[in-house]
Chain A
Amino acid sequence: MLEAILVMAFGALVLGAALGYAAVRFRVEGDPLVEKIDAILPQTQCGQCGFPGCKPYAQAIAKGEAEINQCPPGGEEGIHKLADLLGREFKSLSAEHGIEKPKSVAVIDEQVCIGCTLCIQACPVDAIVGAAKQMHTVVAPLCTGCELCLPPCPVDCISMQSTGESVENWKWKYPVVKINPAQREST
């Protein structure tokens, strides 16, 4: 019995020493994974995920503190990419964090705007320009469509407008397999 304990204790000692040395020798600093996750996130900075921006959400995912399905702007596709990167199982978008919407930009109704600057303070990417008591306007190409400017507006003069299709950004549609009834019958 004593022998057994001695042997096991000896083993534990040797292995513990080896591991302790390795832990010091192979210490890792920083986390390159966060960057990789952040690169997938759409950078809307909308906070729908429950974190104050895309980077904090990326950090939370990397630490395993957040699910990968909390980003509505990234959509199903973003979740697929995250699942791929992290080797996790795909989950459909969590409803409590929002739904996937077509890309849109904020538009300020300039007739109504009172120039309160509240939206300017809310915009995470400084895409609204204007000064106190001046009409504000959204720089559309910079707007991420995060909707963070909607709640602060005291006069509800900001609306989200989906970015329309033009010849430049028109996309070929997914080929639809159509089997018409005539073909169905003839074969």
Chain B
Amino acid sequence: MSALQRLFKFHGGVKPAYNKEASTGLPIAVAPTPTLLVIPLHQSIGGMPRPLVKAGERVLKGQRIGGADGNASSAVHASTSGAVVAVEMRLMPHTSGLSALCVVIEPDGRDEWIARQPFDFRKASPTQTRDYLRDAGVVGLGGAVFPTHLKLNPGKHGKLDTLVLNGAECEPFITCDDVLMRERAETILKGAIIMREMLSARQVLIGIEDNKPEAIAAMEIAAQAANQAAGDLAMQVVSVPTRYPAGGAKQLIRVLTGIEVPHGKRSTDYGVQCFNVGTAYAVYEAIALGQPLISRIVTVAGNVGQARNYEALFGTPMRDLVALCDPLPDSDRVIMGGPMMGLLMPGDEVPVVKATNCVLVGSRKLFPPPPPEMPCIRCGECAKACPADLQPFEMYWFSRAKIFGKAQEYKLFDCIECGCCAYVCPSHIPLVDYYRFAKSEIWAREVDKEAADIARERYEFRLLREEREKQEKAAKLAAKTAAGREKAAAAIAEAAKPAATPEDDTKKALIAAALERAKAQKEQVHPGNVSNLTPEQEAEVTAIEARRAEIREMAKPHLRQDD
């Protein structure tokens, strides 16, 4: 089946030591529930979900604890039943070492599910299905955690040619997709069938690197069964050459279909969409079983005695997973992800999240500190290795000098940060660090620019308003003086002519009424938000008012001085 498929090549790539065997020897194990789960609310690309629970509440397994903030966001769920201890800032699994809002749950050990209801997506509209997946918290599990419901949209043509399932998993050490495919191939394909229907895709290509023969075999058997059941040949397992980063979505699409999806463009516009095999699995669980995404397979590897894949609940501290694998005594760091793109964790207490495909334990021996950075000699090794056909040394040249415009001209934002360039660099330059730096600086500038545009608009509006107010004031003043003159004239006329005409009377009455109204209005000005106050608040308000009066007294001499 796979022999029929014509394969394409992507430029560049590297072949680092794969180190995958260590963690594929044992089947997937279920990691024990920890004593405390710390579940960050922001686990996917897009808006930060709103917390839906408060400290002290009891939650059930699978209960939504974070609601999606708008459509470009994804919900978060309790991984087990228990009591919410706190909703507070906790250290995030992020290189910055910063904290963000997390729901801390103390499991009660009963692991009690919410009522699970399969979702009949065939009866629901596509939008309803997508909303359901959003609220089930299904996101891409390859590491980028892009909300899946946003990608399950066939786009403007209403149908797709190819649905790509990504089982290439090219990063060294990581085997979570490999073992998932070996052990749960059938379920993955059931998820793929749902995705295929939602996307009206003609065929499903399952790309697997040829260093995973067991996974290929398992997936082929399952694909044959699925094809037989459906009576077509839509599912094809394709073995792709092992070369990092063959598992990059764009690179895999290129290898399987020859299509290059440019940066910033939707792949559906090119008739193709790509999902990780783990995501297909999660889609099946959400739709067919009614289980939101609360756990994932995590590879624990690196400087450990027994590397293995665990099915871990989100919120489990990485430290607990590492402890299951006999970490060697010289371990000095925890990395989330693989050695090429993984993020250095600020500590081992950070929780497993949806993006955690691997917990990699490092040591000075395993990942020695890089030799000192030497000057770039423009040898072009990085350009040869770049899978995005970039000129990394030019991007580095200008990023280093902080000439960001030029770096962007060399298509900095097409860089996928795969690390190939830094891996091959004979000068040991941390190239990717320079790109990350340049990218975040450019983003920050864009944010600043937007803020500046808003500020300019508001400033110009204020000038306009001041101008208008000045004019209005002038007009009012003119009207007032005119009215005053009239009044004076009227008074003179009155004095001269005691018998007032009825017209004058009405006029006078009108003016009096207006004055009365104005007076009443003036008296009516009082604080707007003081109704419905609790007694304590009222007391506070009086206290503040008293203090203000005091300050006003104190301020008076200063004000006078200022005058």
Which A residues are closer than 8 A to B by beta carbons?
38, 41-45, 53-54, 111-112, 114-115, 124-127, 131-134, 141-142, 144, 154-155, 165-175, 177-179, 183
Contacts and interface: CB of A to CB of B under 8 A. Distances in A.
Contact of A175 (B99, B434, B444): B434
B455 A125 contact: yes
A169 B451 CA distance: 14
B352 to A, nearest CB: 17
Contact of B452 (A42, A171, A174): A42
Contacts of B455: 43-45, 125, 142, 144
Nearest to A114: B548
Nearest to B556: A154
Contact of B444 (A54, A144, A171): A171
A131 B525 CA distance: 10
Contacts of B555: 114, 154-155
B94 A114 contact: no
A171 B440 contact: yes
Given A133-B527, A179-B372, A183-B371, 11 more contacts: A54-B459, A111-B544, A111-B547, A114-B551, A125-B455, A165-B98, A167-B42, A167-B98, A172-B436, A175-B373, A183-B372
B100 interface: yes
A177 B372 contact: yes
Say whether chain A's binding surface is mostly helix, strand, loop, or mixed.
loop
A173 B436 CA distance: 8
A167 B437 contact: no
A38 B456 contact: yes
B551 A155 contact: yes
Given A112-B551, A154-B558, A175-B434, A42 B448 contact: yes
B202 interface: no
21 contacts: A38-B456, A41-B452, A45-B459, A54-B459, A112-B547, A125-B454, A125-B462, A126-B462, A127-B458, A132-B525, A134-B527, A142-B458, A154-B555, A166-B98, A167-B100, A170-B96, A170-B440, A171-B437, A172-B436, A175-B373, A179-B372
Contacts of A45: 455, 459
A43 B437 contact: no
Contacts of B527: 133-134
A132 B434 CA distance: 51
Contacts of A169: 444, 447
Given A43-B452, A177-B373, A125 B458 contact: yes
A174 to B, nearest CB: 5
A165 B444 CA distance: 12
B441 A171 contact: yes
Interface string B513-534: 0000000000001011000000
Contacts of A54: 456, 459
Contacts of A172: 433, 436-437, 439-440
B112 interface: no
